Amino acid sequence: MTFYEAVGGEPTFRKLVDEFYAGVATDPVLRPLYPEEDLGPANERFRLFLIQYWGGPTTYSDNRGHPRLRMRHAPFRVGPAERDAWLRHMRRAVDSLALPVDQEQQLWEYLERAAHFMVNTFEE
């Protein structure tokens, strides 16, 4: 069984990303980074990426090609403050899933590592 299946498949990732974007929508640091008025398309891209990463359908790459996430984040300022805000909303979103602790830890370790990797500036 893939991790995607083990945690409950599509509805779990939908909830995770919906909870995350509910936080982003009201965040004074993060919201201005998102170029589109409607966060729906960004929500879908992130959900499909996570689903693919954890062994679910590959719809993300069928539509978008190779993820190249650092390159795709290069146009946006991702400094320590943005990373910390991102992780704060993600922590709340992960908690909302109430997963068994081993799954919760596996998911969180990945997200924390990925968020640190995405930082592209240390300038104030």
Contact between 64 and ligand HEM per CB under 6 A: yes
Question: Binder to ligand HEM among 7, 49, 51, 56 (CB under 6 A)?
Answer: 49
Question: Binder to ligand HEM among 73, 91, 96, 104 (CB under 6 A)?
Answer: 73
Residue 107 near residue 7 (C-beta atoms within 8 A): yes
Contact between 14 and ligand HEM per CB under 6 A: no
116 annotated ligand binder: yes
Contact between 4 and ligand HEM per CB under 6 A: no
Kindly determine how many residues on this chain lie close enough to bind ligand HEM according to the rule CB under 6 A.
21
Long-range CB pairs of 73-80, under 8 A, 24+ apart, other chains included: 73/118, 73/120, 74/120, 76/33, 76/120, 77/33, 77/120, 77/121, 78/118, 78/119, 78/120, 78/121, 79/119, 79/120, 79/121, 79/122, 79/123, 79/124, 80/119, 80/122
Q: Which residues bind ligand HEM (CB under 6 A)?
A: 30, 33-34, 36, 42, 45-46, 49, 64, 69, 72-73, 76, 78, 82-83, 86, 111, 114-115, 118
